[in-house]
Amino acid sequence: MDELSRWMMTEGRCCGDPVKVVSHFCTTLIAAGVPLWRANIGQRFANPLLIAWGVVWTPESTESYDVTHDVMLTDSYVGSSFEYILAHRRPLHKSLRGLDPEADHVSYHEFAEAGGTDYYATLLYYGDGSMHGCTFVTQSESGFTAENLAMIEAALPGLSCALEPVTMRKSSRSLLRTYLGDGPSDAVWNGSIKRGERTALDAVVMFTDLRGFTALSDSAGEEDVFDALNTYFDVVVQAVEDAGGDVLKFMGDGILSIFPAADGTDRADQCRQAAQAAHTALAGLAAVNTVRAETGKPPLAIGIGLNAGRVSYGNIGSPGRLDFTVLGAAVNLASRIEGLTKSTGHPVLASASVAAAAPDLFASCGRHNVRGVSAPVEVFFLRGSAM
């Protein structure tokens, strides 16, 4: 096990590939005489959307997986070996023969039906004090011997050494992506963290606002308000991301998104992506409103403003607190255009810069006064959209 530990603390720790690490760990144990048939190395990490990730090894393949918070409330986790070892802080060694159909967790029965004979679950300890779980299954007639289990335990500190930096990096990146979006999180991860550091780029800006939010807040309970907000955010964020855009921030009940264009690319692609996102968001909200009507809840309505232009993309704030955002006249105009959806009766409005790039998707609804702009601005509604 000394050679395995050295590999884990050197090449394994530096490779950053959990699949490679776990594969090497398992195959080395097998070569040393441990009759592994299946291993599951689970890692807990801090993320509001995901609670864990892990790697499952079998002789045929090695694959990684993610675990959402919702799974922790299901029978997949409740009563499982992972729940047991994390709650009791001690390993679990269990024969897969003679299982109780009622009392034993479904996973034990599944492994037994596939030929498993013995099962071992134990803990990984990281430098920050966190605990993580791993499980091992064998098909050997004699199960895991005391010597086998001692070899597994002896190799675990090395495995922890190799996987802890991977888990820390995944946690950091997932948190950045959750709170900043794909584009900004990549920029921050790659070092764009200095205050005032920014990049100019061409993009379609999409500003979305929830109609009647103030009235809803005054008339509905706190739980209903948060449910409405999260439902609205789910619909719009999914629509933007599916169309290739980035959601940069939530501003109360407003959502700021962009569809950035790489240098030299045709703006029409980004304009059509933004239009598709708007269509998808409206369709998604219509489906949501059908369900809300069935439960006696008021419908949700949104306004969307689209504008294309040059924006500044980067960090603003104080020395101790930064925000990653986009700024510029193009952003301001998108917000102002969204405000016109209330008076025009069209849920999606775009500037001439967007409509000109996709003339088949938009039609003019005249010139309107826009706050902060000296001359009236012509705006265009998205064909096929309706309140």
Condensed to tens digits (0 to 9), the pLDDT of residues 111-156 reads: 999 999 999 999 999 988 889 999 999 999 999 999 999 999 999 9
**How distant is the alpha carbon of residue 275 from its chain centre?**
23
The chain-wide mean pLDDT, for the chain, equals 88
Q: Which of 118-122, 170-174, 344-348 has the highest mean pLDDT?
A: 118-122
Residue 213 to residue 253: CA distance in whole angstroms:
7
Greater confidence, 29 or 219? 29
pLDDT of residue 215: 74
Residue 208 above 80 pLDDT?
yes
Greater confidence, 66 or 122? 122
Indicate the range of 17-26, 163-172, 184-193 predicted with least confidence.
184-193
By DSSP bridging, strand 348-350 and strand 377-382 are: antiparallel
What is the mean predicted confidence (pLDDT) over 54-81?
85
Indicate the range of 24-28, 46-50, 115-119 predicted with least confidence.
46-50
Q: Which of 74-78, 282-286, 314-318 has the highest mean pLDDT?
A: 282-286
Instruction: For the chain, give the number of residues.
Output: 387
Q: What is the pLDDT of residues 73-114, one digit of tens each?
A: 677 788 899 999 999 999 999 999 999 998 999 999 999 999
Residue 334 above 80 pLDDT?
yes
Q: Which of 277-281, 313-317, 374-378 has the highest mean pLDDT?
A: 277-281
* CA-based radius of gyration for the chain: 27
Q: What is the pLDDT of residues 322-331, one digit of tens each?
A: 667 778 888 9
Whole-model pTM: value is 0.67
pLDDT band at 192 (very low <50, low <70, confident <90, very high): low
pLDDT of residue 191: 67
Residue 262 above 60 pLDDT?
yes
Q: Quick one: residue 212, left, alpha or beta (phi over 0 = left, psi -120 to 50 = alpha)? A: left
CATH 3.30.450.40 is right for the domain spanning 2-179 = yes
Residue ranges of domains in the chain: 2-179, 181-382
Going from the C-alpha of 312 to that of each of 34, 198, 327, the distances in angstroms are 58, 6, 5
Residue 264 above 60 pLDDT?
no
Residue with tokens 């009791």: 88
The DSSP string of 17-85 is: -HHHHHHHHHHHHHHTT---SEEEEEEE---SSEEEEEEEE-SS-EEEEEEEGGGGGSTTTTTSHHHHH
Domain 181-382: top CATH class: alpha beta
CB count within 10 Å of CB 303 equals: 22
pLDDT of residue 317: 72
**How distant is the alpha carbon of residue 305 from its chain centre?**
25
Please check whether the two domains, 2-179 and 181-382, share a CATH topology.
no
Going from the C-alpha of 356 to that of each of 52, 146, 206, 352, 360, the distances in angstroms are 46, 74, 16, 6, 9
Residue 23 above 90 pLDDT?
yes
| Helix (H) or strand (E) run with residue 169 in it | helix 146-180
3-state secondary structure of 214: helix
Residue with tokens 């992972």: 82
3-state secondary structure of 332: helix
Q: Residue type for 361, please?
A: L
pLDDT of residue 73: 67
Residue 24 above 90 pLDDT?
yes
Q: What is the pLDDT of residues 361-384, one digit of tens each?
A: 999 999 998 887 878 999 999 998
